[in-house]
Every structure is written in structure tokens, then in C-alpha cells.
A and B are shown apart, each in its own frame.
Chain A
Amino acid sequence: KNQVEQSPQSLIILEGKNCTLQCNYTVSPFSNLRWYKQDTGRGPVSLTIMTFSENTKSNGRYTATLDADTKQSSLHITASQLSDSASYICVVSEYSNSGYALNFGKGTSLLVTP
């Protein structure tokens, strides 16, 4: 069973609107949570990384939040642009015997339309 669940699976919004993507996880012991943006056919690009003690982190128009108690995270995109159309992947890192392991969600596919 995937330990990182993302919702919605896909989303269509109008250019200029805001949106929020959700990530719920059961990974334990928790190390950090990352959000990546992946354009179609390209490799993922890091947006944010948050540790246990961080509640929010921004990167331009992207703001990620983390509630480690409820094991939930969100990625808020402000004033969306056409170039925001991509898959957004939540990645939760856990401590493991060999150091740490990354657990990937399946991603939320975002389409921004004119």
C-alpha cells in the first residue's frame, strides 16, 4: 500500500486562479517532506523541502504547509500561470537502515487553461 496519497488526482483551473493540492502520508519515522514539479516527459524539479519542525515554506508563488501531527501537507499555488501545468509530486522521506528512503506519491496532474 502506498504510504503517500495525493489528491485530487487531476485538476483543471483557469489562468490566474489559485489552487491547493493535498498530500496525506503514513510514513514513519518521518524525516522530511518534499514537493516536486514534473513537466511532461521531463525529470522532477524540487519546489520545497520541509522538516518536522517547519510548518510552511514558500518558493515564489508556491507555498507548502506541513502538519506533522495529522501527517498532512498541502501545496498552494497562487495566481496560476499556463506554465504551472504539470504533475506535482509529494515525496516523504523516512529514516531507514541504510540512511533514509523516499516514498513518492502518484502526483496530481494540474492543467491551467487560458
Chain B
Amino acid sequence: DTGVSQDPRHKITKRGQNVTFRCDPISEHNRLYWYRQTLGQGPEFLTYFQNEAQLEKSRLLSDRFSAERPKGSFSTLEIQRTEQGDSAMYLCASSFSSAHNTIYFGEGSWLTVV
């Protein structure tokens, strides 16, 4: 078990470009979450999947954001037409579906939009 893996760890992009982040959860975890975190703040919920189904999306997830989890394994988070306000750390986490299971976070993907 190698933990939750995220790629890339850092990404610098020009405003208006599209970026995609990948998350590989702990194997056999059926829940996968995406959060966004800015400096000095706690993580903010973006969306989560139960297997391949996207069960909930935050209002923070504008039309420019899309997430997928094909086949219920890895997930991708795409941001289209990036804006400077998108600069943040994007965290992926995974867990079993029981409410009291530990949720394991990846190391995050830092996005800087210039």
C-alpha cells in the first residue's frame, strides 16, 4: 500500500490554459474526494466519488472544473481556462465508505496560475 498518490506535485500555468491533476487512491478504497486549500485555510470540499459515481459537488466547483473517476479507480480533476484565483493546493483523499473510517490524504498538487 503506497498511500494516496497525486500527480503532478507542482504545476505553473498561464491564465487561460487548461490543467489536469491525477489522483491514485489507496487500492480498494471506494470513496475518493477532492479538496482545495489556500494558505492559512482549511481544505474546502470540491467533490467526491463512491466508486465511479460522482455523488456530490460543491458550489465551488464551477463549470470550468470537472472531475472523473472512470472504472472507480484513479481520478482526474481538470480545470479549464484557469484564472489566478484557481491558484491553490488541490488535495485528493480516499477512504472506505463507512462514516467512521480514516480518510487518507495525498500530498497535494500545487497550482500556480500566472
Asked if B108 and A43 make an inter-chain contact with CB atoms under 8 angstroms apart, the answer reads yes
**Residue positions of A touching B, CB distance < 8 A:** 4, 31-32, 34, 36, 41-46, 49, 51, 89, 91, 93, 95-96, 98-102, 104-107
Asked if A42 and B43 make an inter-chain contact with CB atoms under 8 angstroms apart, the answer reads no
Q: How many residues of B contact A (CB 8 A)?
A: 25
**Residue positions of B touching A, CB distance < 8 A:** 4, 33, 40-45, 50, 55-56, 89, 91, 93, 97, 99-100, 102-108, 110
The chain B residue with its CB closest to the CB of A90 is B42
Known contacts A89-B42, A99-B55, A99-B99; can you find 20 more A-B pairs with CB under 8 A?
A4-B42, A31-B99, A31-B100, A41-B89, A41-B108, A41-B110, A42-B107, A42-B108, A43-B106, A44-B91, A45-B105, A46-B102, A51-B100, A91-B42, A96-B56, A98-B56, A99-B50, A99-B97, A102-B103, A104-B44
Secondary structure class of chain A's binding surface, majority of residues: strand
Q: Specify which chain A residues have a CB less than 8 angstroms from the CB of B89 in the assembled complex.
A: 41
Q: Which of A43, A100, A101 contacts B105 (CB 8 A)?
A: A43
In the assembled complex, the CB of A60 is this many whole angstroms from the nearest CB of chain B, namely 16
